[in-house]
Structure 1
Amino acid sequence: MVNVKLKPIALAVAGVLAATSAYAADAIKADKVDVVSTTPMPGIGLSINKVPANIQLVNGDEFKKQQSVTIADYMNNNLQGVSVVDTQNNPFQPDVTFRGFTASPLLGTPQGMSVYVDGVRVNESFGDAVNWDLIPMNAIANMSLIPGTNPLFGLNTLGGAISVQTKSGRTHQGGAAELSAGSWGRKTGSAEIGGVSKDGSVDYFFSANAFSEDGWRQASPTDVRQFFGKVGWQNETTKIDLSYTNANNDMIGNGLVQRELMQTLGRSTIHTKPDQTRNTLSFLNLSASHWFNDDVMFSGNAYYRNSKRKTLNGDVNDGYTGDDTNLAAYQSDCLANTGGDADEWCSGAINRSSTKQQSYGLNGQLTFNQALAGKSNQFVIGASYDISKIKFNQSEQLGSINASRGIDPLYDAEITTNLHGKTKTWSLFGTNTLSLNDYWHVTGSARYNHVKVDNVDQINAPGQSYTLLPSDPNYLASDETLTGNHTFSRINPALGLNFTPTKDLTVYGSYNEGNRAPTSMELGCANQYAPCKLPNAMAGDPPLKQVVARTFEGGLRGNLTEDIRWSAAVYRTENSNDIQFITTPSTINNMGYFDNVGKTRRVGIDTSLAGKLGQFGWNVGYSYVDATYQNDLSLANEVNSTAYTDGGGNDVINVRKGDRLANIPAHQLKVRLTYAVTPDWTVGSNITAFSDRYMRGNENNSHVANTPGFYEGNGKVAGYAIVNLDTRYNIGNGWSVFGKAINVFDTEYNNGGLMGETMFTSNGSFDANGNPSGFFSPGAPRAGWVGVRYEFLAPKAQ
């Protein structure tokens, strides 16, 4: 056996865990050496003073203290540069934006962030979507938000990466059970237990969560069920963990709502219903690490991930051409047209989709913590191989809109899309950090990504052309085939420099490159002549180019005193061949296609000041981002006051270089305050403020309000500020009670918007003529919850 002491293992693990509380307002120590993992896989780790990035670190206990529903909820309230858009208006389905890049559960949202759990990338293979409801909160030991285009975190890391490490029985011993209830009929329950065998070789951790609520908006119930388990074994040199995650969730979030409906019927009203998503997950992950000697460590994993997603959406039928305005008349019209004209005479449609995704792969790396030419040096080299298989189908069932804006189905469902896809990705990566002396540290990294995407249309065989219109006599139905083979590859480099003149100051600068290959979803919806209704139907498409991002970042961080930390970062990321979803005119339900729109740029700053003074703790963060188009382009649009008819007869707007991207606030301020009233009683508050943002449909930033024939609003989502409160009291003997209130001043606000066309009047009546309107994602009103927690079998303090 290799003679390796436990000391280096213990130091590495303890350092990584200690780093997770680096910026917690209530636990800051300047003399601690924070260690972070520089790759998705846990390794020996690197002192944060040598990392050329503004990494934000969160201890899992912070989620419990603030009673966060998801990691997205926590990030929106606490972390620099993060904002959300509640497009679905479900607490488990927000769109998260960081530095102008998005991680979203919605198909049709171009993704710009990667998310890892225990070294496994959990962006779904179909569309790179991120399902926040599939990450159990009480299983999280710590989380890192890594900024910028870090190539070590692989594909889709254009604006940043989220890395989650789960609990084990070795790090989280003891048990806990928790119940809470309150507003909107919300009821939650959770339990966890962890421990180590008597001989210290085996550890275990198990947790379960149950969440149920009626929702604050009409017809919006949610039920979430999650389970996580991990069993581990280790000796002096080797550690092996096998974890399993299971989820079975049923979520309804009825999305954006028309401005006039909110004004007349209240903010809890909905546009159409239902908008249901059912997610299930089975996720196995086998991870292992082995120390060959005191300086060389291997870590790797093998995983299998099986997720299923079913959606049911009640929508206005885009093909409707009738002019009746009462329920009985257009229902009669729909039933009378049993031939091929039914699509034109039925006002509503139920769209169903089913996505089955299987992913499996291997990841491994070697870390060498050995001197180079007598200087401190760490070298990591690794590889990964991932395969994803998808089966996607979608059907449409025509019907009639009823008085409650639901859909009464009147015909049988017809399958409109049936796609099988397979994606193979393999990567090689390496990174080296050399300390030239005690003050200067140089890091060089690179990753090669190779992606092959194969789509096979189960309905239409390959055709002859991608450019013929359906009205063209040479047009064939097979021109809309989804079948295609696409390959993308690229080497992405990175270079960083850190200067640490004292233990209380770090200055750094870096340059990084990364790429995002188009997904099966985007490659299956890139034809402007055959637009898609997302997240549903797709049509045959020309190939898209991969997105390449280049990021410059510089910053400083340090300690003013033993208990006060600060940081400041400035960055500039430019995307080439950026992909966006282009909405087509004359559509009610967001039909469109994906296209490369040229260059976009995000320039911004992130600052923070965190500390503790006696019983009082604080964490203040301010961020600014200027997210803009960097070339001129034309976008289809009928509701913007600057829209005009181009030479091809299309209604468009002109976007100019420098116009801001939609739904991204330029300014944000976040304040977290805590106060220990007694050793057993703490209170806390989160204050968040966001500036206004442009709505989708106003990408040229030029829409003028109250222009006849166009949307009456100003084309912006107003800025807002909200206050949340939380408290916890330890009764004793393991018992504690807690409470939380959100939006305590009951501020009415929206956090996202879209300019489009509606077929409803202000009182909810159907209007076949259609009118320009604004659609908003309304923020939740004031609400509160209380709960009780019991902790047991905790190890005694040494």
Structure 2
Amino acid sequence: MSMRSQARRKRRLQRRAGITFCVGGALAGLSTSVWAQAEPPVAASAPASASSAASSAASSAASSAASSGTADGNANSNTTPTTTLAPIVVVGTTPLLGIGTPLTLVPANVQTVHAADIQRQGRQTLSDYLAANLPSVTISDAQGNPYQMNLFYRGFTASPLLGTPQGLSVFVDGVRVNEPFGDVVNWDLLPQQAIDTMQLIPGSNPTFGFNTLGGALSITTKNGKDNPVGEAEIQGGSWGRKAAQIEQGGTIGQNLDYYFTANAANDNGWAEQNESRIRQAFGKLRYTDADTTLSLSAGGADNDLHGAQTIPRSFLGNPRQPYTYPDQNQNSAGYLTLSGDHYFNDTVELSGNAYYRHFRNANTSSNVNNDYGTINPDGTVDTLQATNVQSTVTTDSYGASLQLTLLGKLGGMQNQFIAGMAVDAADSRFTQSSQDATFTDSRATVGIGNFAQQTNANTHNTNYGIYLTDTLSLTPQWSLTLSGRYNWADATIGDESGTQPQLDGHHTFSRFNPAVGINWNPTPALTAYATYNEGMRSPTAIELACADPNAPCSLPNDFISDPSLQPVISKTYEVGARGRIGGNTTWSAAAYSTTLDNDIEFISSNGAGSSQGFFQNVGRTRRQGVELAGQTKYGPFTVTGSYSYVNATYQSTWVESSPSNSSADANGNITVHPGDHIPSIPATTVKLRLDYAATAKWRIGTNLTWRGSIYAQGDENNQDVNGKISGYLLIDMDTSYQVTKQLQVFASVSNLLDKRYASFGALGENFFTGPGNTFNGTAPVNEQFVGPGAPRGFWVGMRYAWK
């Protein structure tokens, strides 16, 4: 490196010295993951690389500057003393983090999780961690597998289940990972060990693009410069779970760093048919200098997940038994991301990325023939008990984003302006075949004859977005944020079989979504804000191809018809505040209301227990509520708590088929009215996390989670005689002991009190009313089906680290 380049690099690092950048927006040094965040107000007037390298570079520069200052002071007593700035918490308010925005200027109740927080609790899945720790986050088990949970945040869903209306967007290193075919989120594909930070941004922030109706989850992965260590871990315990993982990070010379992790887990499952096999790998290679960061990351997963499905309440004498089986999902993925940022000078930064993802899901499911005993068109009686369905979704997605950040002054006031553009495209192929089957006494299906193809469809999706956001520091206490994004979506569906030409269709959707927010920082220990924002979700290919009530299809999907659906529009209002009391206590409070116009629901043709149905715009829905959170530290104790309330209701009148609902009319229909509560969303959740550092080497932690009652799917009118699924309290514990500097042993217990509970419910017909719960298609019974929670489980492990 030339002397000129060295001097330039030193000047840039010195400008950043004394500023601690924490990607995602959490203050460093606290031992728990979710808390109210507050920092002194600082205008966005100085460059600050939001890459992980900036943090370490700033720290190094601070040390160098201090040493240099001392030396210079000895030589020249007139040298101006160095001033160390207060820490600045930086939040990414766009998918491409770029420079980021100081939290004091962000009009949102942002929540952040760090890698150490995830590792400390040792939870099996990412969704389980989020549900146990973050305010307003809950999960429900509709599939009977821990890696396939539905996750709710403020009443909006991120689910791996095709056909579930999605309302949350998820990003990994700026790349959207909602699968294009159905906007689903496959939690089992996310590399948990590779996560450096996660930030959960509430509301309909338009800069995050499509599907950000209720919020966005932005994940940043580790790099070798900030994680220059190696680590190997093994663990095992209840239900035959065995897991191992390894990670290694480091630097190569002055400008290169690398990171790699891989893991494998086998789990027999707590139920009879919900075993899992997980294989994941992730790697990253980076180049960094004073002005530029270039990163190439790649990863993949190959997972095999079995589900026990929901079971009727009459089966709860043995909650481990499945309703029918098999129910298997084989997920595989591979992805490659190239990203980078470059500082042209102290006020201009350009960032961007390009990516390619390949995803494949192979599903095998067993289904009851709901038409058993009916008269066929030829006059014969339908005596077919079951069908086996095999479906495959293969998707190749690719895209790129580019973002420019300008720091400066506008009318003499500090200003940060961001402009960006993004294009995302995907090609998907969906095939589905069906086979007649019969049930054994254990409710396994046995195929009769060969599989016959029902659907062979290709889809192509292209999404374009152009966004702007500007943050203006009106005064040292007041700031104004204006944002907007124009989205344009194109979806093409084509029949490849030659037998379903009615499937062919082409759809376009477009809209400009605005946002405005204001922040007030009267003191360094208090921030108040108010915001309004809008978002958009265009109907997915799976919804567009299954939207005709006269031609219901099955999920994952037997595409038949292709009428238009309207895009879902969200409008969110939020007010809130966050602050600090003394040096050890933080708090936050927020109140919000999000209204959806043209919300989309899956309308079952035979009740919630059936996969036959169609998608329909059901008018207006609303989710509104409050969030309270706080954290305090007292000696070796750290206490974090939160209370969340969400009132999720329908605001329009509509009719659906739900013959298993006790209030259904003679045609099996129910009428949903404004004010009726949306199923699966608990009104209240209370969470408490206790951390105790018993000694310098021994730590103990406990989570207490209370989740309120919910209505079952199929009870959208809230009138079924079965009522709600009861709420429950769960207690989990974790502990670790540092045997040596390199060796740590740890243990965890879930559901300490061995509570029997259910997190999901649906109304349907139970066809297994014969002796020993065998098939009895002539006498099905309407019941409430539930998704039982796992009993108490215990795991132990050890972790060895090296430099």
Q: TM exceeds 0.5?
A: yes
Q: Deviations over 1:12-60 (max 9, x none)?
A: 9951338345695548896642111110112111110110000001111
Aligned residue number for residue 256 of structure 1: 310
Aligned residue number for residue 772 of structure 1: 782
> Which of 673, 676, 680 is equivalent to 1:663?
680
> Which of 265, 268, 280 is equivalent to 1:214?
268
Aligned residue number for residue 285 of structure 1: 337
Mapped contact 1:144–1:163 kept (Cα < 8 A): yes
Q: List runs of 5+ in structure 2 lacking aligned partners.
A: 40-85
Within a 5 Å distance, the mapping from 1:211-360 to structure 2 comes to 211-263=265-317, 266-321=318-373, 344-360=382-398
* 2-structure distance, mates of 1:13, 1:563: 21
Q: 1:342 to 1:502 in 2, by over 3 A?
A: farther
Mapped contact 2:236–2:796 kept (Cα < 8 A): yes
> Which of 747, 753, 763 is equivalent to 1:739?
747
Q: Deviations over 1:633-658 (max 9, x none)?
A: 1111112222113xxxx321111100
Q: Secondary structure of the residue that 1:260 maps to in structure 2?
A: helix
Within a 5 Å distance, the mapping from 1:384-533 to structure 2 comes to 384-460=422-498, 481-533=502-554
Aligned residue number for residue 754 of structure 1: 762
Q: Secondary structure of the residue that 2:800 maps to in structure 1?
A: strand
Aligned residue number for residue 689 of structure 1: 706
> Which of 223, 234, 258 is equivalent to 1:204?
258
* 1-structure distance, mates of 2:146, 2:435: 28
> Which of 581, 587, 594 is equivalent to 2:602?
581
Q: CA deviation at 1:564?
A: 0.7
Aligned residue number for residue 369 of structure 1: 407
Q: CA deviation at 1:220?
A: 1.8
Q: Secondary structure of the residue that 2:786 maps to in structure 1?
A: strand
Mapped contact 2:23–2:92 kept (Cα < 8 A): no
Mapped contact 2:273–2:321 kept (Cα < 8 A): no
* 2-structure distance, mates of 1:26, 1:246: 30
Mapped contact 1:394–1:418 kept (Cα < 8 A): yes
* 1-structure distance, mates of 2:265, 2:126: 15
Mapped contact 1:556–1:567 kept (Cα < 8 A): yes
Q: 1:657 to 1:586 in 2, by over 3 A?
A: closer
> Which of 159, 162, 173 is equivalent to 2:228?
173
Mapped contact 2:608–2:714 kept (Cα < 8 A): no
Aligned residue number for residue 239 of structure 2: 184
Q: Secondary structure of the residue that 1:673 maps to in structure 2?
A: strand
Report percent identity of matched pairs.
41
* 2-structure distance, mates of 1:757, 1:657: 27
> Which of 666, 671, 688 is equivalent to 1:654?
671
* 2-structure distance, mates of 1:231, 1:505: 40
Q: CA deviation at 1:253?
A: 1.4
- 1:672 and 2:681 equivalent? no
> Which of 677, 699, 712 is equivalent to 2:716?
699
* 1-structure distance, mates of 2:433, 2:16: 55
* 2-structure distance, mates of 1:461, 1:596: 28
The letter for the 2-side match of 1:727 is T
Q: Deviations over 1:227-249 (max 9, x none)?
A: 00000112221110000011000
Q: CA deviation at 1:320?
A: 2.7
Q: 1:10 to 1:483 in 2, by over 3 A?
A: farther
Q: 1:602 to 1:586 in 2, by over 3 A?
A: closer
Q: List runs of 5+ in structure 1 lacking aligned partners.
A: 324-336, 463-477, 705-713, 794-798
* 2-structure distance, mates of 1:596, 1:351: 27
Aligned residue number for residue 329 of structure 1: none
Aligned residue number for residue 145 of structure 2: 90
Q: Deviations over 1:352-371 (max 9, x none)?
A: 10000010001010011212
Q: Secondary structure of the residue that 1:133 maps to in structure 2?
A: helix
Mapped contact 1:21–1:59 kept (Cα < 8 A): no
* 2-structure distance, mates of 1:178, 1:687: 27
Mapped contact 1:25–1:619 kept (Cα < 8 A): no
* 2-structure distance, mates of 1:86, 1:26: 26
- 1:716 and 2:719 equivalent? no
Q: Secondary structure of the residue that 2:334 maps to in structure 1?
A: strand
Q: CA deviation at 1:451?
A: 0.3
Mapped contact 2:19–2:87 kept (Cα < 8 A): no
* 1-structure distance, mates of 2:17, 2:183: 36
Q: Secondary structure of the residue that 1:572 maps to in structure 2?
A: strand
Q: CA deviation at 1:219?
A: 2.0
* 2-structure distance, mates of 1:191, 1:109: 34
Mapped contact 2:141–2:759 kept (Cα < 8 A): yes
Q: CA deviation at 1:8?
A: 7.7
* 2-structure distance, mates of 1:114, 1:314: 30
The letter for the 2-side match of 1:285 is T
Aligned residue number for residue 16 of structure 1: 22
Mapped contact 1:348–1:398 kept (Cα < 8 A): yes
Q: CA deviation at 1:61?
A: 1.0
Q: CA deviation at 1:727?
A: 0.2
Mapped contact 2:24–2:112 kept (Cα < 8 A): no
- 1:543 and 2:595 equivalent? no
* 2-structure distance, mates of 1:402, 1:341: 27
Q: 1:9 to 1:535 in 2, by over 3 A?
A: farther
Q: 1:278 to 1:210 in 2, by over 3 A?
A: same
TM-score w.r.t. length of structure 2: 0.90
- 1:126 and 2:181 equivalent? yes
* 2-structure distance, mates of 1:17, 1:157: 21
Q: 1:12 to 1:532 in 2, by over 3 A?
A: farther
Q: 1:6 to 1:361 in 2, by over 3 A?
A: same
> Which of 790, 794, 798 is equivalent to 2:800?
790
Mapped contact 2:693–2:700 kept (Cα < 8 A): yes
* 1-structure distance, mates of 2:277, 2:15: 41
Q: Secondary structure of the residue that 1:527 maps to in structure 2?
A: coil
Q: Secondary structure of the residue that 1:663 maps to in structure 2?
A: coil
Mapped contact 1:184–1:214 kept (Cα < 8 A): yes
Q: Deviations over 1:471-513 (max 9, x none)?
A: xxxxxxx5xx221000000000000000000110001000000
Q: 1:343 to 1:608 in 2, by over 3 A?
A: farther
